Amino acid sequence: MDDTVVAPVVTGDGTTAGSRTARRWHRARWAVLVLAVLALVVTVLAISRPPSSTTAYAPDNAQPTGARATAQVLEHQGVEIEHVTRVADAVAAAGPGTTLLVTPSPYMLPEQADALATAGADLVLAGAGDDLVRTVSEGAVSRTPVGDPVGPVAPRCDLPVARAAGDLTLASGLRAATGASSDVTLCWPGDDGAGLAQVAVRPALDGGGVPGDVRPVTLVDDPSFLRNDAVLDDGNAALALGLLGGHERLVWLVQDPLDITTTREDDDPSAPTGSLLPPWAGTVGLWALLVALVAAVWRGRRLGAVVPETLPVVVRASETTRGRGRLYRRARSRGHAAAGLRAAAAERVARRLGVPRSADATALTDAVGRATGRPPQEVVDLLYGPPPADDEALTALARRLDILESEVHRS
Amino acid sequence: MALTWRAVALAALGVVPVVLFPVPGTVLVWALVVAAACVVDVVWAASPRDVALQRRVPRAVRLGVLTRSELVLTNTSRRRLRAVVRDAWPPSLVTDAPARTAGGPVLARSARHDVRLAAGESARVRTPLRPTRRGDRTAGPVTVRSLGPLGLAGRQASLPVPGTIRVLPEFSSRRHLPSRLARLREMDGRAAVQVRGEGTEFDSLREYVVGDDVRSIDWRATARRSEVVVRTWRPERDRRVVVVLDTGRTSAARIGGTGPEPAPDAPTEAAEPDDTTEPTLGGTRLEASVEAALLLSALADRAGDRVQVLAYDRALRTRVAGASGPRLLPALADGLAVVEPALLETDWTGLVGQVRSRVSQRSLVVLLTTLDPAAVETGLLPVVGQLTGTHQVVVASVADAEVARLRADRSSSAAVYDAAAAARGDLERSAVSAVLRQHGVEVVEAMPDELAPRLADTYLALKAAGRL
């Protein structure tokens, strides 16, 4: 304690701002280079490849479940396609002189179905549920789910679209309601109903339609004719192009499951698509991200490096003993275990009684018998008896040896 | 560059403008505000490289004794310095309680100091240190984080300031020294009254008192004087004692602690729940050997013998010789402080060669090693004959308290198998001891706490019997 070592005074670490920058660049240049190349590759890929979604029946989905084939052919034919995911957007875009395609929408609410029914456009519903079918056809058509279609059937109706398509394999679950008007045309009839139904609906006056005008609502029970993997089968392509290519504009609705909108007036157009969150959520999230980032930088910088210290190895001296004990146990080697216990006990007892190491077993057992007052045969059994038959006997033997030893030590 | 919690608070304050103008641009503007404030603060902070640092540490300190490292800081810049300074030391010196998970990180709050210095001022900060392991400990760099006037951000630099502390062995066995010295004094100068051979060196003549052994009457001296005179004897002096520490792989094994032995910080030991499945991990075998070597050397030096201590595995690690009296123990502590177990098989031929080359006269050679049967049979036994011819050899070995616990355990059948294995190991060790004794070697085997006093007792017994 008394002899204190005073180290020389240190000021700075001999580096300058320039040398530190150079050293940091030297250390980080490869990482920076690799990251830059990676960013470049990602950018090029993102720009060169048009995005492809994975949503079923989406016009930008090139997978088997998508409908990009149909959409692209329509675009080449001069049809302008507007892809929407919210009912409100669809209703706003679907004015008179457009076609509105509604792809299967299992989460559609009744209010949304009403909103669609009042849209001014020609409606094409592919694979719609019973509620939606009834709503848009004003009760003229109903749908019951049927099994897979068996084979191509003839259209058997006078619609030009149907005649152009010819024989098709369509699920046929559409039926005209009893007592409905004669405006319902059914095509591709099957055992339970028709594959396609067209209803001439008089538009509601508040929907922007012209009084007296009639707009067609076409219902197709089986939406698979739009899919990339089935569009080339039979006359599917002709049906799709005939139904959707009627007008210059086509509004293609693939409903977002989170969408609850009905018309544009009752929601904020800046909110993200189908969002259940309030409009300021994004801003607050950004702010939280900023705070988290600053906190990460605060906690991430250490006050100097960790000081290392070489530690001694951890090898327990008792490991070999434990290992040998496990070996005995696994091999169920009660004989060896008992012999070890007996020999150790005999040696300690012999030392205590002053019996020399060279003395034979009889001398030792006699001495022990005299010291403890036990019959010699019992001592012989204990110290030189047969190996125990099971683990309980081994434990009992160990306890009896302990008792014998304690008796000898007491004497 | 480093940020403080204030920067986080400033960023969090951005909630006010975000609530007032909930558009993403607000967040962007606020981020720019925070960044600008931090940059201004960094630019205004004093340079951490303009701080003159000087470290004062004790050269050596005994294990477990509280000491401190002093750091003198002088602000040589023209700005006001407002900084957090960390005087970094290895974890085994840090006084803070370690994390609850074993081997977890130690956050040394005691090593962090807040410093505020005007231009040209100096300050002194003290970091408490309590060494828990033997050996040389080198300090880490001093880290200075200089904060700006706003306290939002700062500049940081780690500066290499030299500093080394040598942690000396604890020598806890010195509590056994007074009683052994008393025994030594009893032996010293005692007339050969009851026991002839209590020492064999002629000491002095004195007057006969009733009860003295008539065989010790010096008749010549009696004839020259008018009263009956007896000879007195004293133990031999100026004998040579060579203590050899085996620092090979067997010395690295941890021996079961017999109590709260290795941890001087008792509160943490008590705070931890008593883990019954894993017994306490004690120090290495070498620690007990060092303790025994220190006690024996101190005792032999007081008894007037010349002590030298060697540490050897495949090469000579430490040799302390030629020191005596008050210089012996400091020299020994210094020499033994840096001895660490090497994971090598001990070269016994080389070790014996070392001993033979160091001492030519008859001496007491104490080998602090292990009685592991395999190691002894292949290593020590073939060469021990070269030593026993000229020297009195003592082999001292540390027994493992955990093996003793295993031997007595009868709680389950699995424990009985372990007990049988322990018993078998005892038998083998006692067989090895018997073979060594046949070679004329004294064997001492004791628990870590008892090895030092037992070895001292063996030494006293050998001295009393005149066998040195």
Interface contact flag, A391 B67, Cβ < 8 Å:
no
Task: Enter the tokens of residue A221.
Answer: 């029970």
Chain A residues inside the 8 Å CB shell of B445:
none
Q: Contact A283/B24, CB-based, under 8 Å?
A: yes
Residues 242-281 of B with CB under 8 A from A: 252-256, 281
Looking at the predicted structure, is the pLDDT value of residue B56 above 60?
Answer: yes
pLDDT of residue B66: 93
Residue in chain A nearest B165 by alpha carbon: A5
Quote the percentage of chain B above a pLDDT of 90.
60
Q: Does B109 touch chain A (CB under 8 A)?
A: no
Q: Which residues of A touch B113 (CB under 8 A)?
A: none
How many Cβ pairs closer than 8 A exist between chain A and B? Answer: 242
Say which of A10, A294, A322 has its CB closest to residue B418. A322
Of B26, B58, B90, the CB nearest to A283: B26
Residue B316 is predicted with a pLDDT of 94
The single-letter DSSP state of residue B309 is E
Q: Bridge-partner residues for B173, per DSSP?
A: none
- Is residue B415 within 8 A of residue A328, CB to CB? The reply is no
Q: What is the pLDDT along chain A (411 residues), one digit of tens a residue?
A: 457 888 888 888 888 888 999 999 999 999 999 999 999 999 998 888 766 778 888 888 888 888 889 999 999 988 899 888 888 888 888 888 889 999 988 888 888 888 888 888 888 998 888 888 888 888 888 888 877 777 788 888 888 888 888 888 888 888 887 765 557 888 888 777 888 888 887 655 454 445 556 778 888 888 888 888 888 888 888 888 888 888 889 999 988 888 777 776 555 544 444 456 777 888 899 999 999 999 999 999 989 888 888 888 888 888 889 999 999 999 999 999 999 999 999 989 998 888 887 788 888 888 888 888 888 888 888 888 899 988 899 999 999 999 998 988 876
Pick among A1, A277, A303 to test the B interface (most B CBs inside 10 A) = A303
Give the closest of B74, B139, B160 to A13, CB-based.
Answer: B160
Contact B419 A341 (CB under 8 A): yes
Quick one: which H or E segment has residue A252?
strand A249-253
User: In the numeric block, which tokens belong to residue B144?
Assistant: 């200075």
Q: Which CATH architecture has domain A68-263?
A: 3-Layer(aba) Sandwich (3.40)
CA A177, A180, A186, A191 dihedral sign is: positive
pLDDT above 90 for B422 = yes
Q: How many CB atoms lie within 10 A of CB B149?
A: 13
User: How many residues in chain B?
Assistant: 468
Domain boundaries, chain A: 68-263, 321-410
Chain A closest-CA separation from residue B142 CA (Å): 8
Please report the DSSP string for B25-88 in residue order. HHHHHHHHHHHHHHHHHHHHSPPGGGEEEEEEEESEEETT--EEEEEEEEE-SSSPEEEEEEE-
Q: Are B285 and A280 in contact (CB < 8 Å)?
A: no
Given a cut of 60, is residue B251 above it in pLDDT? yes
Which tokens in the block code for residue B219? 């008749």
pLDDT at B331: 94
Cβ distance B27 to A283 less than 8 Å, yes or no, reads: yes
All structural domains of chain B: 48-168 (2.60.40.10), 189-234 (no CATH), 240-464 (3.40.50)
Residues 35-74 of B with CB under 8 A from A: 49-61, 65, 67, 74
Contacts of B163 in chain A (CB under 8 A): 5, 7
The predicted structure's pLDDT at residue B98: 60
Three-state SS for A145? coil
CA distance to A115, A130, A200, B438, per residue, from A204 (Å): 11, 21, 13, 120
Q: Confirm or reject contact between B29 and chain A (CB < 8 A).
A: no
Q: Which of A284, A293, A321 sits opposite B425 (nearest CB)?
A: A321
Give the residue on A whose Cα is nearest the Cα of B280: A316
List all residues of chain B from 327 to 386 with a beta carbon under 8 Å from chain A: 340-341, 343
Q: Alpha-carbon distance A134 to A262, whole Å?
A: 18
Nearest to B55 among A7, A12, A337 (CB): A7
Asked if the C-beta of B421 comes within 8 angstroms of chain A's C-beta atoms, the answer is: yes
Q: What pLDDT score does B268 carry?
A: 38
- Closest residue of chain A to B427, computed from CA coordinates: A344
Of residues A410 and B7, more confidence is placed in B7
Cβ of B54 within 8 Å of Cβ of A7? The answer is: yes
Instruction: Please report residues of B whose CB lies closer than 8 A to that of A279.
Output: 22
Measure the CA dihedral A14/A20/A24/A25, to 10°. -130
Q: pLDDT digits over B176-230, tens only?
A: 999 999 888 887 655 444 444 445 667 778 888 887 778 878 888 888 888 888 8
Name the residue among A323, A328, A340 with its Cβ closest to that of B427: A340
User: Any chain A CB within 8 A of the CB of B1?
Assistant: yes
Q: In which band, very low, low, confident or very high, does the pLDDT at B260 lie, cut at 50, 70 and 90?
A: very low
* Angle (nearest 5°) at CA A54 between A53 and A55: 95
Which regions of B404-446 does DSSP assign to beta strands (E)? 441-446
Per-residue pLDDT tens digits for B298-350: 999 998 899 999 999 999 999 999 888 899 999 999 999 999 999 999 999 99
Residues B122-130, mean pLDDT to the nearest whole number: 93
d(C-alpha A352, C-alpha A404), whole Å: 12
Q: Is B410 in Cβ contact with A399 (below 8 Å)? A: yes
Closest partner residue to B8 (CB to CB) among A295, A305, A392 is A295
Measured CA to CA, the distance from residue A102 to residue A251 in angstroms comes to: 9
Q: Is the pLDDT of residue B138 over 90?
A: yes
Per-residue pLDDT tens over the stretch B230-248: 887 766 778 899 999 999 9
Interchain proximity A317–B256, CB inside 8 Å: yes
Taking CB atoms and an 8 Å limit, are A283 and B61 in contact across chains?
Answer: no
| Cβ contact, residue pair A398, B426, below 8 Å | no
Does residue B130 have a pLDDT over 70?
yes
pLDDT recorded at residue B276: 39
- Chain B residues whose CB is inside 8 A of the A315 CB are 252-254
Where residue B437 falls among pLDDT bands split at 50, 70, 90? very high
- Checking if the pLDDT of B35 tops 90, the result is yes
Q: Please tell me the predicted confidence (pLDDT) of residue B75.
A: 94
CA distance B106 to chain A (A): 10
